[in-house]
Every structure is written in C-alpha cells, then in structure tokens.
Amino acid sequence: MKRHLTNHSLDALVSRIGKTDVLACYQCKKCSAGCPVTPDMDILPHQVIRMIQFGMKERLLNSKTIWLCASCETCTARCPNDVDLAKVMDVLRQMAINSGEPLGDSRVPFFHSAFLSSIRKRGRIYELEMIAKYKLKTREFKKDVKLGIMMFLKGKLKLLSPKIKGKKEIKDIFSQAEKGMTG
C-alpha cells in the first residue's frame, strides 16, 4: 500500500478501510465476467476499481451499481490479485451514505434503513414493521401484498414483535456506531 499518490486519495482511502489493495487490479475483468447483476449496473465491477484508481469519487458514490451489488462475493472469491471487491462495494456504500449527497438508487438504502431501525428498536427483525416502514418510504403499497398474505397463512410472518432482554446493549451499539460516524 505504499504506492498511493497521497494518503487522502480515493484509492488510499478505500484500500485502507476495505483492508485490500485496489492498485493491485490489472483489469482482467474476471469480476465483471462472473457478476450476476452486470446487466442492471451502470458501472461494471472492473470499472469501479479503475474509477477508484482515477479518483472519480462523485461518479461512484451516486452510481446505481453500488446498490445493485448483491454481495454474492463471486468477484472477491475469483480475483487473481486478491482485491476484495465485495468489501470495496461496502466501503463505497458507506461513503455514499455518509456523504449526504443524493443516492443512485431509491429503494435499497430505504430497505437497509428500515431493516436496521427494526434491529435498533427490538434487537431482532420484526418483518411486518420493517416492511411497513419500507413501503411508507417507497410508496409501493400494492407490491407483494399477495405474497405477504400467503407468508402469513403459512405461518411465516409473526404478528407479535420479537423482544430481547438486551435491548439497551443494542441501543448502545447503535449509539457507538453513530458517534464513530460523526467523530
């Protein structure tokens, strides 16, 4: 990791947080060849790495690609140079959220925020509440209603919220995470 232009360049930052060396990439495109979501991406996985090397931060942080990556880890498993691309995607998503700029996808970030707010409140996922929160944000009220009813009839959706004793510990973990972000 000694080859970075400056300690503050994008490649240095992503490499440090992601504990991987993005300069090791020689553009063999194996990541993009094996990625299941490339047809829907606006920037291909190997291009993500190249653009990090070029410092194209804004373009990456408001891309669709970072939200469509399914974290399947195929790229990471197959990279001949040990670039942890799945982890790089995590780092870019985290940077995008912290940037406060408009995001490249309207649904996935809402999903994550509804999911995490359920954990924060209850320690475990309460599916009904999580989905309600998500739908209020996306306004997609009609989608998957039948699926939800079927799930309920098959005993797969609980009516009552889960409860854990260590709720305070969970709240503390979330507060610590927030402090880390601002500090």
Partner 1 sequence: MKLSYYPGCSLHGTAKEYDESTRAVCYQLGIELFELEDWNCCGASSAHCTDEFLSNALPERNLKIAAKSGLDLLVPCAACYSRMMTAGKENPSLKPTVKIRNLPELLREEDNFNRIREQVKTPLEGLKIACYYGCLLTRPPKITEVKDYENPQTMDGLVGILGGETVSWPYKTECCGGSLAITHTDIVKRLTRKIIEMAMEAEADCLVTACPMCQANLDTRQDEISRDEGKEYSLPIFYITELIGLAIDEKKSGRWWKRHFVDPMPLLNSRGLI
Chain contacts with partner 1 (rule: CB under 8 A): 17, 36-37, 39-40, 68, 70-74, 76-77, 84, 86, 90-91, 93-94, 97, 105, 107-113, 115-116, 118-119, 123-125, 127, 131, 134, 143-144, 147, 150-151, 154-158, 162, 164-166, 169-170, 173-174, 176-177, 180-181
Beta carbons within 8 Å of 137's beta carbon, 6+ residues apart? 110, 113, 114
Nearest to 135 by CA among 158, 101, 106, 164: 106
Closest distance between partner 1 and the C-beta of residue 177, in Å?
Answer: 5
Measured from the CB atom, the residue of 3 and 36 that comes closer to partner 1 is: 36
Closest distance between partner 1 and the C-beta of residue 108, in Å?
Answer: 5
Q: What is the 3-state secondary structure (H, E, C) of 21-40?
A: CHHHCCCCCHHHHHCCCHHH
Closest distance between partner 1 and the C-beta of residue 21, in Å?
Answer: 14
d(CA 33, CA 58): 25
Measured from the CB atom, the residue of 5 and 150 that comes closer to partner 1 is: 150
Closest distance between partner 1 and the C-beta of residue 57, in Å?
Answer: 18
Nearest to 107 by CA among 133, 71, 74: 133
Measured from the CB atom, the residue of 5 and 177 that comes closer to partner 1 is: 177
The phi and psi torsions of 82 (rounded to 5 degrees) equal 65, 30
Task: Return the H-helix or E-strand segment holding 123.
Answer: none
Closest distance between partner 1 and the C-beta of residue 157, in Å?
Answer: 6
| Tokens representing residue 15 in the block | 């490499």
d(CA 85, CA 46): 9
